[in-house]
Copies of this chain bind each other. A is one copy, B any other.
């Protein structure tokens, strides 16, 4: 079965001031969902959606790997950080390994697993949105460039046939639980 529900259709009329839609936009229908929708977005948020989780991953991505350094860079309370790190290790996003510098005692550090590394587009997408909509007067606090050519990096939708998708209206949803109005 296939519900081909156009994502993000019908944004007409979103201009005026005392915002009032003049045309009926939402057909009346009983809710078909008796359970909350389960989707990969929800599942992913169970892993990385808690407060501090993505900031921790941001730091580890930057190469900040020790507890105290992650704590300082994120500002997370230590007890919460302990819990988040343990959760991310349990989820397979980070791994906790010992390391020893010459002439120093054994310490712990946290590293991204391959699965953790694949969260990079999530961070990039958030950063891109924040840069665009929440940056201060002096522009984005940091910029990211392609090491090969020096050009700025961004994330974008593409299809597997190689088309770049500029507008979310070009994306269709196939299968999955019904969309209710």
Determine whether the beta carbon of B44 is less than 8 Å from that of A129. Answer: yes
| A130 CB, min distance to chain B CBs, angstroms | 3
With both chains docked as a complex, state the minimum distance between the C-beta of A180 and any C-beta of chain B, in angstroms. 5
- Residues of B near A96 (CB, < 8 A) are 19
Distance from A71 Cβ to chain B, minimum over Cβ atoms (Å): 9
Asked whether A39 is an interface residue with its Cβ less than 8 Å from the other chain, the reply is yes
Question: Shortest beta-carbon distance, A55 to chain B, in Å?
Answer: 6
**CA distance in complex: A21, B104 (Å):** 14
Known contacts A47-B134, A102-B24, A171-B153; A5 and B62 CB within 8 A of each other: yes
Q: A20-B99, A31-B69, A47-B134 are in contact. Are A175 and B41 (CB under 8 A)?
A: no
Interface mask (A103-116 → B, CB under 8 Å = 1, otherwise 0)? 01000010111010
A79 at the interface (CB under 8 A from B): no
How many chain A residues touch B (Cβ–Cβ < 8 Å)? 123
Q: Which residue of B lies closest to A34 (CB)?
A: B72
Query: A109 to B31, Cβ gap below 8 A?
Result: no
CB<8 Å pairs between A and B, sample of 22: A8-B63, A8-B120, A14-B95, A25-B65, A26-B65, A39-B130, A40-B134, A40-B135, A41-B130, A44-B129, A44-B130, A65-B181, A119-B129, A121-B155, A122-B122, A122-B129, A142-B177, A145-B174, A146-B171, A147-B172, A151-B161, A151-B163
Give residues in A with beta carbon < 8 Å to B.
5-11, 13-14, 19-21, 23-26, 28, 31, 33-51, 54-55, 58-59, 61-66, 68-69, 72-75, 92, 95-102, 104, 109, 111-113, 115, 117-135, 140-149, 151-161, 163, 165, 168-177, 179-181
- 20 new A-B contacts, CB < 8 A, other than A26-B66, A153-B159, A158-B158, are A14-B95, A19-B96, A19-B97, A25-B109, A28-B101, A31-B73, A39-B127, A40-B126, A40-B141, A42-B55, A44-B130, A45-B126, A64-B179, A117-B168, A122-B126, A142-B173, A142-B177, A144-B171, A144-B172, A153-B165
